Amino acid sequence: MTRLHEPGHRAFGSDNYAGAHPEVLAALAEANEGHQVSYGADVYTARLREVLAGHFGRDVDIYPVFTGTAANVVALQSMLPRWGAVICSESAHINTDENAAPERVGGLKLLTVAATDGRLTPELVDLRMGGRDDEHRAQPGVVSITQTTELGTCYSPEQIAAVCERAHSQGLRVHLDGARIANAAATLGLPLRAFTTDVGVDVVSLGGTKNGALGAEAVVVLEPAAVEGVRYLRKIDMQLASKMRFVSAQLLALFDGDLWLRSAQHANAMARRLRDAIGGLPGVHVALPVEANAVFAVLPDGVADRVRERFHFYDWEGHPGLVRLMCAFDTTEADVDEFAAALAAELG
């Protein structure tokens, strides 16, 4: 096949723009030899269950899927009755960027609440607890938090524990959308269990794609009593991979060792470098704390469009002048410095 793109091109639009990590590609090649039983009865999926049990500090049920949207939909479906609803922040990925999949495919309702920095609190959860036992209202059954949030902020273990305590006291379960869970662990300097299992999270959507996988996520059930029928829902939602060893092998490449953490630490470090490089430029304001691999900055009128001729990135909808710049496992110091220089030239 003829290569159709320039391999040296870099952008700051999304960590999804990056290719697969070379160690993930190598793992896929190793998993490709010979035959393995299909639909998850393979040795790679079995090993993945053992590895993730180590990370989360207890036996877990795992359900590899292809996409983060699928992981969220399958997880939330399994945690709710047909009349159930999910409390989440307005900026949560399940609300803003999954094209109503939770509602249309999952058949559930989202009860959103404004969270200025993307993080829910017990008090914000309370705002959507009205209508309990009212047959005219969808019934809150799950609180979903995103770690890290869509605004690049990171929950501390104590913040998640407080949300879990409030949710559980009201008979609700807690789901954690962990599309960038590795970046959170890198920021916190803590193992995955410290801000999931140990603080009361019931189900995790475990991300891999944004951290170097080709297309691999998983529903990780920490509390079996919190779910029902996950294995059936995964099939109904068209996420049961026949050759599941290749999905599991990607996650093994990340988590059976420290690749997941090394990659996230690097992406976070590049975001901090980017913040420092552009934060002092005239007319540039870094609008949110840089706690993972995202930088949100306000640029003067017209500047973003001119810089985008070389480096693609997105405006943040609903906030004039605000842009989001994402770093990935393969972002280099030179990439960051070239972007900062291009921005400085346009400002000058």
Q: Is the pLDDT of residue 276 over 90?
A: yes
Kindly report the three-state secondary structure assignment for every residue of the chain.
CCCCCCCCCCCCCCHHHCCCCHHHHHHHHHHCCCCCCCCCCCHHHHHHHHHHHHHHCCCCEEEEECCHHHHHHHHHHHHCCCCEEEEEECCCHHHHCCCCHHHHCCCCEEEEECCCCCCCCHHHHHCCCCCCCCCCCCEEEEEEEECCCCCCCCCCHHHHHHHHHHHHHCCCEEEEEECCHHHHHHHHCCCHHHHCHHHCCCEEEECCHHHCCCCCEEEEECCHHHCCCHHHHHHHCCCCCCCCHHHHHHHHHHHCCCHHHHHHHHHHHHHHHHHHHHHCCCCCEECCCCCCCEEEEECCCCHHHHHCCCCCCEECCCCCCEEEEECCCCCCHHHHHHHHHHHHHHHC
203 forms beta bridges with 175, 221
CATH of 259-347, one of 3.40.50.300, 3.40.50.620, 3.90.1150.10, 3.30.70.100: 3.90.1150.10
Q: Which residue has the tokens 């590895």?
A: 51
Q: What per-residue confidence (pLDDT) applies to 165?
A: 98
Q: What pLDDT is stored for residue 1 in this prediction?
A: 82
Q: Answer whether residue 195 shows pLDDT above 90.
A: yes
pLDDT on residue 289: 95
Residue-wise pLDDT for 111-140, tens only, equals: 999 998 999 999 999 999 988 889 999 999
Same fold, 22-255 and 259-347: no
Question: What per-residue confidence (pLDDT) applies to 35?
Answer: 97
Give yes or no for residue 149 having a pLDDT over 90.
yes
pLDDT of residue 97: 92
Average pLDDT, the chain: 96
- Asked if 147 and 205 touch (Cβ cutoff 8 Å), the reply is no
Instruction: Judge contact between 44 and 36, C-beta under 8 A.
Output: yes
Instruction: Classify residue 161 as exposed, middle or buried by CB count within 10 Å of its CB (0-12, 13-18, 19+).
Output: middle
Q: What is the pLDDT of residues 63-97, one digit of tens each?
A: 999 999 999 999 999 999 999 999 999 999 999 99
User: What is the reported pLDDT for 261?
Assistant: 98
> Is the pLDDT reported for residue 5 higher than 90?
no
Q: Give the separation between CA 171 and CA 266, rounded to whole angstroms.
A: 39
pLDDT in tens, 55-65: 999 999 999 99
Residues 41 and 274: their CA atoms lie apart, in Å, by 44
Q: What is the pLDDT of residue 2?
A: 87
Report pLDDT for 52: 98
Domain limits, the chain: 22-255, 259-347
The proportion of the chain whose per-residue pLDDT surpasses 90, expressed as a percent, equals 94
Q: What is the pLDDT of residue 25?
A: 98
- pLDDT for res 275: 98
Which of the four CATH numbers 3.60.110.10, 3.40.50.10890, 3.50.50.60, 3.40.640.10 does domain 22-255 have?
3.40.640.10
Beta sheet of 109-113, edge-to-edge order:
61-65, 217-221, 203-206, 173-178, 139-146, 84-89, 109-113
- Please list the residues that pair with 219 across neighbouring strands: 63, 205
